[in-house]
Amino acid sequence: MTTISGARVFDGNDALGVASVTVEDGVITAVRPGADDGTGDVDGRGMTLLPGLIDAHVHLRGAGNLGQDLRHGVTTVLDMFSAPPQFTAMLRRRARARTDEADLRSSGLMAGAVDGWPAVMLPPDPSGWRMPGLSGPQDAEQFVSDRVREGSDYLKIFVENSADVTRPTLSPETVAAVCAAARSHGLQTVAHAPTRWAFRTALEAGVDVLTHVPLDGPIDDLVLDTDLAGLVVCPTLAMMRARADAASTDELLADPRLLAGLDPEVAAALRAGDRGHLPVSTAPGVSYDHAAGNVGRLVDAGATILAGTDANDVPGHAAAVLHGASMHLELELLARAGLTPRHVLRAATSLPADVFGLADRGRIAPGKRADLLLVEGDPLDDVTATRDVRAVWRAGVRL
């Protein structure tokens, strides 16, 4: 049994003030509000205890990603495309067996067109496995059934306009067919939608969660004039800024709190200008200001915003959007885009848990899984306080 006492507590929804939280056998057993002298097993005075962060959009390139996430207080990640299936299965087994890496849920393979993205990213492996693609709506049911068999927790769909990418793309009819097939199997759908055309197409097709926000201009009135109260968007502002600005990693390099959980070699490579081969977009009209402005418009329209980074670094190598550290950059970018600190913290804890059906986490309450993050300072006053990690627990085990 462990008691964390004297810390301010953000329970995933709101501030409880100073409280003591007791953990036993991986589960929160008691939350006792009120003044406390810090005499528990962990003295949290001057600190804030909050649920472990949930990054609602990552791509896994190796098990080392999950360790780096946990070191930065990210206790759960939602993988939005990993391959081949046996690699994802291996990561699932690790997540069930270990407490020194973040837990994960995954879409597995992403739906895309034959000879389009993401199929062209993955050449056939030595076993002969080849990334599948969809040629039309008639392929939707088979694609979804195969993902169900592989254990996908939700479905990811690549939605792009052939005018914006150089490879074949899914038709709007095929996107709608994948959504319908996923619903018939009880799975949610998530759409890659970084342009105005893709955003509108995914929305009209019935996608449950839109990820990214348009970089190519303001979301149009046809979208904003619809009822967006049930819309869920994961903007991945860290990636949107990286696509629009080669200096996007400067902020990370300037903050020793973020560098603390990174390999020195990675930081050195970033300083040398290595962004993991991610180019800055040269598409006409691309601007990070469009993305940030679109988040503000979506908030005003009543959409639910989730915190996610689109982290996709190879473990031990530099990338423009790194696992773990970039989550804290994402929180500040959401605040700059118009979310209150409370809204930002909810976007990284209780809201993704609710949207993706993770009923056992995302909140500090009796009976919930003890995924916890203790930070110096008060992120409800200054959201960058989440960067000052003092302790992390995954399922009650302290890292």
**Cis preceding linkage at 84, omega within 30:** yes
Q: What is the pTM of this model?
A: 0.95
In the prediction, which pLDDT does 256 show?
94
Do residues 370 and 28 touch, judged by C-beta distance below 8 A? Answer: yes
CATH superfamily of 53-358: Metal-dependent hydrolases (3.20.20.140)
Could you tell me where in the chain the CATH 3.20.20.140 domains are found?
53-358
In the prediction, which pLDDT does 140 show?
97
In the prediction, which pLDDT does 294 show?
95
Closest CA to 184 of 140, 132, 151, 150: 140
In the prediction, which pLDDT does 361 show?
97
In the prediction, which pLDDT does 131 show?
85
Fold of 1-52+361-399: Urease, subunit C; domain 1 (2.30.40)
For the chain, list residues with pLDDT below 50: none
Do residues 69 and 101 touch, judged by C-beta distance below 8 A? Answer: yes
Closest CA to 277 of 247, 321, 319: 319
CA 23 – CA 29 distance, rounded (Å): 6
CA 11 – CA 18 distance, rounded (Å): 11
